[in-house]
Amino acid sequence: MDKYQVLKQYFGYDTFREGQETLIDSIIMGKDVFGIMPTGSGKSLCFQIPALMMDGITLVISPLISLMKDQVATLNQVGIHAAFLNSSLTAGQYYKALEYAREGKYPIIYVAPERLETDVFLDFALHSKIAMVAVDEAHCVSQWGQDFRPSYLKIVEFIKKLPERPIVSAFTATATKEVREDIIDILMLREPTVVTTGYDRPNLYLGVQAPKDRYAALKNFVETHPDQCGIVYCLTRKLVEEVSDRLKEDGFSVTRYHAGLSDAERRKNQDDFIYDRCQVMVATNAFGMGIDKSNVRFVIHYNMPKSIEAFYQEIGRCARDQEPGECILFYNGQDVITNQFFIDNNTDNQELDPVTRQIVAERDRERLRKMTFYCFTNECLRDYILRYFGEYGSNYCGNCVNCISQFETVDVTEIAKALIGCVFSCHQRYGVNVIIDTVHGANTAKIRQYRMDSNPYYAVLAKVPTFKLRQVMNYLMLQEFLTVTNDEYAIVKLTANSEKVLDEGESVVMKMAKEQDHPAKVKSEKKPKKGKMAGVELSEADEALFDKLRMLRSEIAREEKVPPY
Site for ligand ADP, rule CB under 6 A = 13, 16-17, 20, 37, 39-45, 309, 389
The least CB distance from residue 345 to ligand ADP, in Å, is 21
**Taking CB under 5 A as the rule, does residue 382 contact Zn ion?**
yes
**Taking CB under 5 A as the rule, does residue 380 contact Zn ion?**
yes
Query: 86 or 395: whose CB is closer to Zn ion?
Result: 395
By a kind-dependent CB cut-off of 5 to 8 A, residue 395 interacts, out of Zn ion, Mg ion, ligand ADP, none, with: none
Which is nearest to 139 in space by CA: 26, 63, 31?
63
The least CB distance from residue 14 to ligand ADP, in Å, is 8
The least CB distance from residue 379 to Mg ion, in Å, is 21
Q: What is the DSSP letter of 291?
A: -
The least CB distance from residue 39 to ligand ADP, in Å, is 4
CA dihedral 338, 44, 555, 495 (to 10 degrees): -130
Whole-number Å distance between alpha carbons of 176 and 213:
44
Whole-number Å distance between alpha carbons of 475 and 92:
41
Q: What is the DSSP letter of 225?
A: S
Residue 357: which residues within 8 A CB-CB, separation 6 or more? 349
Task: Find the radius of gyration of the CA atoms of the chain.
Answer: 25
DSSP labels, 417-471: HHHHHHHHHTTT-SBHHHHHHHHHT---HHHHHTTGGGSTTTTTTTTS-HHHHHH
Q: Interface mask (CB under 5 A) for Zn ion, residues 396-435, using x and -? A: -x--x--x--------------------------------
What's the distance, Cα to Cα, between the start and end of the chain in Å?
Answer: 39
Whole-number Å distance between alpha carbons of 167 and 169:
7
By a kind-dependent CB cut-off of 5 to 8 A, residue 403 interacts, out of ligand ADP, Mg ion, Zn ion, none, with: Zn ion
Whole-number Å distance between alpha carbons of 363 and 265:
35
| Residue type present at position 53 | M
- Residue number of the CB closest to ligand ADP reads 42
Count of residues in contact with Mg ion, rule CB under 5 A: 1
The least CB distance from residue 382 to Zn ion, in Å, is 5
**Taking CB under 5 A as the rule, does residue 387 contact Zn ion?**
no
**Taking CB under 5 A as the rule, does residue 232 contact Zn ion?**
no
By a kind-dependent CB cut-off of 5 to 8 A, residue 288 interacts, out of Zn ion, Mg ion, ligand ADP, none, with: none
**Taking CB under 5 A as the rule, does residue 385 contact Zn ion?**
no
- Identify which range of 36-44, 89-97, 243-251, 395-403 contacts Mg ion by CB under 5 A: 36-44
The least CB distance from residue 305 to ligand ADP, in Å, is 12
Whole-number Å distance between alpha carbons of 318 and 200:
12
- Identify which range of 40-48, 54-62, 219-227, 545-553 contacts Mg ion by CB under 5 A: 40-48
- Identify which range of 120-128, 209-217, 264-272, 377-385 contacts Zn ion by CB under 5 A: 377-385
Query: 43 or 470: whose CB is closer to ligand ADP?
Result: 43
The least CB distance from residue 397 to Zn ion, in Å, is 3
Residue 150: which residues within 8 A CB-CB, separation 6 or more? 487, 488, 489, 490, 559
* CB neighbours of residue 417 within 10 Å: 18
Residue 424: which residues within 8 A CB-CB, separation 6 or more? 494, 498, 502
Query: 43 or 115: whose CB is closer to Mg ion?
Result: 43
Residues at the interface with Zn ion (CB under 5 A): 380, 382, 397, 400, 403
Residues at the interface with Mg ion (CB under 5 A): 43
